[in-house]
Structure 1
Amino acid sequence: MNTSRRPMLLLMVATLTAGAGNGISIVAFPWLALQHNGSASDAAIVATAGTVPLLVATVLAGAAVDYLGRRRVSMLSDALSGLSVAMVPLLALGFGTGAVNVWTLSVLAALGAFFDPAGMTARISMVPEAAEATGWSLDRANSLYQANFNLAYIVGPGVGGLLIATLGGVQTMWVTTALFGVAIGAAALIRLAGAGRPDRAELQEKVWPGIVEGLKFVWSNPVLRTLAVVDLLLNGLYVPIESVLFPKYFTDLDQPQQLGWVLMALSAGGLLGALGYAVTSQYLNRRHTLIVAAVTLGVTTTVIAFLPPLPLILGLSFVVGLVFGPLGPIYNYVMQTRAPAHLRGRVVGVMSSLAYAAGPVGLIVVGPLADAAGLTVAFLALGAPMVLIGLVSIGLPALRDLDRTPQPL
């Protein structure tokens, strides 16, 4: 193995296996909740429990990465995430399947969600040094990193749907635990500049002032601030689709495999979109890519609202993934090039936290709305604002900085 490529390959393995574990959880947690009484509100409770901790956890994760070290945080995060999902079958083994109810699932989903962002933040923060060691451009490295991340969400939900159909939702969690174990092993072998113990001389003496420093940096940078707000709004509208509406629809049909296929189609499109960005980044405008993605998401959601046949839902889901695939590499590039190395973890954490902030609101509203007014109304209530966000983004001046070369840090 080429030594210079070893860190990037190990980083990819850790990202793939941890992401696949999370991808299985995305299917398994709502499915287990819906098995009790088929209520979209119950699924929304579990999904919300898996989202609310992200608001705080991602900010703390960024500080942990900068203060404790990237490799160490990646390993610790995956160990704790693995423990949280392993508790599902352990509870069933010790106390019976009745112990795996909406409330215990909510607690375990919340614990997993609290630990996951630290690992993701740590791995994103290692990309620039891994790219340098490999001799790749940062755009190419982020493109392949994001494609690998999206691949995890093809493997995870697809395998999750099949495992639920064959083993059941509870036993499926053992596979998730094993995947987190592989991620820990891969991260332990990574050797990169900046991945080990940080230089405390560059950091605030206390953690809280360090967190505030990251918040101030993001808010004072117009392009980071604007991206954070746009991402917040789009995530608040999109998360309920994947976490509540699709699971509700396919649970009513008793088709866990089809839910897995839809999530796989989203990720497959995202994989190709992210991979293609390594080439298209040389020709396409970043700002235009963001605007097209927002409008496309709104239009496709509006069509899906009328619950067309499965092949059309799969095709539309693939298109959504395709146009959104380049956004991850773009966001990562902006964060990595605008933030100095000693602040990188906190900037990634703050941006991620803001992206998750609207998710719980959307989940709390959409679950009861779907139960009361039906899935079509719920889908339409999410699709129209997405189109509006895309149109408003056309006039946002800060987004023009996406295509300007940043000043050297």
Structure 2
Amino acid sequence: MTKSTRGPLFLILFSALMAGAGNGISIVAFPWLVLQRNGSALEASVVAMAGTLPLLAAALIAGAAVDYLGRRRVAMISDALSAMSVAAVPVLALTFGVEIINVAVLATLAALGGFFDPAGMTARETMLPEAAGRAGWTLDHANSVYEAIFNLAYIVGPGIGGLLIATLGGVNTMWVTAAAFGLSIIAIGVLRLEGTGRPDREALSESVWAGIVEGLRFVWQSKVLRALAFISLVANGLYMPMESVLFPKYFTDRNEPAQLGWVLMAMGIGGLVGALGYAVLSKYISRRATILTAVITLGLAMTVIAFLPPLPLILLLSAVVGVVYGPIAPIYNYVMQTRAPHHLRGRVVGVMGSLAYAAGPLGLIIAGPLADTAGLHATFLALSLPMLLVGVLAAFLPALRDLDRTPPRPAEG
């Protein structure tokens, strides 16, 4: 019997914190570098879209890479490539001058970072069941803490990002981002955990493409996974422009980079509280009710924010959004981990991730031009009202009732 130890789990959590912080800084830094040049929300949305457009294909590939190459190896490679993509900003500025850091360069680097990130996230999530078992934690407990750590990263990342931009400038802020990814690599480098090395090739399809199709088929045939994918698809497409374009545009026009960091930190703090509270919350409220409450609350909060109230109210609403959305990722993780067999786990996580990201670029395409022409108020409303509709429609999805039923079979491995 394997001796109980929390070391592997803590290394995974630390890696998630560092990689998430790096991504959190990038969320603020990339749009800020664009808006600092000419204040165009359209160009900022182009860069933000470039960072999300590759996610659809990248998440699919990432899931297959995790299953075929091994979880630990993929996590380290992903973080190394992500570090290189952000470090390229100050390297290019030092080599050729800051003038070379234009929209095309930023969009390219954001796209590279967006392409590499899902592999690391998928790899860490698929290692959680084994790490939780070694630590003697339940899967709900491990997922709750993992997602709380991820939200903590978005407290640290955007907050530090906004403050560093105000003190060091946007270009030099990218050095901190690269260093965060470097620490994540070190943590995974010393990790030793069963199931994270070379996979059993006999359990895999002969080709990677056939393996991806196998993952897609598994998700499609699971009614509950299909319903969750639909909600993520629409909700992310409506929410992502608010965080990546509308808030940066609003605070850039006011020349308040630190305030942008505080708003994103408020969301992270709320998400941290919500994720940590999930283990207790799940004893009293169903998973279905938790998801419906989150989507409807997000729509209501976005509608109030559309009127651009004073900063304290924006901070409060952002924190509320974080609290109600904090339990969502642990629920998604639990469903994927308990429905998917061991050899398919990476691909199922990858498929769900790719579907969650699929609508993001479309939302950014619409939000940028709309913000420049109709203004922030109209753009916020154009995103918030459909979000409310999604919450109402989700209440009538019968598949969501399966969230609170015992899984048909436990995950293998």
TM tier relative to shorter chain: over 0.9
Partners of 1:352 and 1:184 in 2: how far apart? 22
Partners of 2:167 and 2:370 in 1: how far apart? 32
Partners of 2:150 and 2:4 in 1: how far apart? 23
The superposition leaves residues 85-117 of structure 1 with CA deviations (integer Å, 9 ceiling, x where unpaired) of 000000100110111111100000000000000
Residue number in structure 1 paired with 2:377: 376
Residue number in structure 1 paired with 2:6: 5
Residue number in structure 2 paired with 1:403: 404
Kindly state the Cα deviation for residue 279 of structure 1 after the two structures are TM-superposed.
Answer: 1.2
Matched, 1:300 2:301: yes
Preserved CA contact (<8 Å) 1:139 1:281: no
TM-score under structure 2 length normalisation:
0.98
Matched, 1:64 2:65: yes
Partners of 1:278 and 1:152 in 2: how far apart? 20
Which structure 2 residues correspond to residues 93-242 of structure 1 after superposition, within 5 A? 93-242=94-243
TM-score under structure 1 length normalisation:
0.99
Residue number in structure 2 paired with 1:311: 312
The superposition leaves residues 210-256 of structure 1 with CA deviations (integer Å, 9 ceiling, x where unpaired) of 01000000000000001001110000000000000000000000000
Partners of 2:201 and 2:318 in 1: how far apart? 45
Kindly state the Cα deviation for residue 408 of structure 1 after the two structures are TM-superposed.
Answer: 2.3
Preserved CA contact (<8 Å) 1:21 1:176: yes
Preserved CA contact (<8 Å) 2:4 2:136: no
Preserved CA contact (<8 Å) 1:78 1:119: yes
Partners of 2:283 and 2:302 in 1: how far apart? 30
Matched, 1:389 2:390: yes
Residue number in structure 2 paired with 1:272: 273
Kindly state the Cα deviation for residue 36 of structure 1 after the two structures are TM-superposed.
Answer: 1.1
Preserved CA contact (<8 Å) 2:148 2:271: yes
Which amino acid in structure 2 is aligned with residue 56 of structure 1? Answer: A
Kindly state the Cα deviation for residue 3 of structure 1 after the two structures are TM-superposed.
Answer: 6.4
Kindly state the Cα deviation for residue 192 of structure 1 after the two structures are TM-superposed.
Answer: 1.3
Residue number in structure 1 paired with 2:367: 366
Kindly state the Cα deviation for residue 330 of structure 1 after the two structures are TM-superposed.
Answer: 0.2
Residue number in structure 1 paired with 2:284: 283
Partners of 2:336 and 2:100 in 1: how far apart? 42
Query: What is the aligned residue count?
Result: 408
Preserved CA contact (<8 Å) 2:149 2:272: yes
Partners of 1:408 and 1:377 in 2: how far apart? 47
Identity level (%): 68
User: Where does structure 2 lack aligned partners over 5 or more consecutive residues?
Assistant: none
Kindly state the Cα deviation for residue 157 of structure 1 after the two structures are TM-superposed.
Answer: 0.2
SS of residue in 2 equivalent to 1:284: coil
The superposition leaves residues 72-93 of structure 1 with CA deviations (integer Å, 9 ceiling, x where unpaired) of 0000000000000000000100
Runs of 4+ in 1 over 2 A off after TM superposition: none
The superposition leaves residues 111-170 of structure 1 with CA deviations (integer Å, 9 ceiling, x where unpaired) of 000000000000000011111001111101100000001000000000000000000000
The superposition leaves residues 270-289 of structure 1 with CA deviations (integer Å, 9 ceiling, x where unpaired) of 00000000211122100000
Partners of 1:266 and 1:107 in 2: how far apart? 28
Residue number in structure 2 paired with 1:38: 39
Which amino acid in structure 2 is aligned with residue 268 of structure 1? Answer: I
The superposition leaves residues 182-222 of structure 1 with CA deviations (integer Å, 9 ceiling, x where unpaired) of 00000111111111110001001111100100000000000
User: Where does structure 1 lack aligned partners over 5 or more consecutive residues?
Assistant: none
Which amino acid in structure 2 is aligned with residue 208 of structure 1? Answer: W
Residue number in structure 2 paired with 1:259: 260
Q: Which moves more between the two structures, 254-263 or 276-285? A: 276-285
Partners of 1:392 and 1:313 in 2: how far apart? 27
SS of residue in 1 equivalent to 2:307: coil
Which amino acid in structure 1 is aligned with residue 186 of structure 2? Answer: G
Partners of 2:327 and 2:135 in 1: how far apart? 21
Partners of 1:101 and 1:90 in 2: how far apart? 14
SS of residue in 1 equivalent to 2:409: coil
Partners of 1:209 and 1:140 in 2: how far apart? 34
SS of residue in 2 equivalent to 1:4: coil
Kindly state the Cα deviation for residue 407 of structure 1 after the two structures are TM-superposed.
Answer: 2.2
**CA RMSD, 1 decimal:** 0.8
SS of residue in 1 equivalent to 2:54: helix
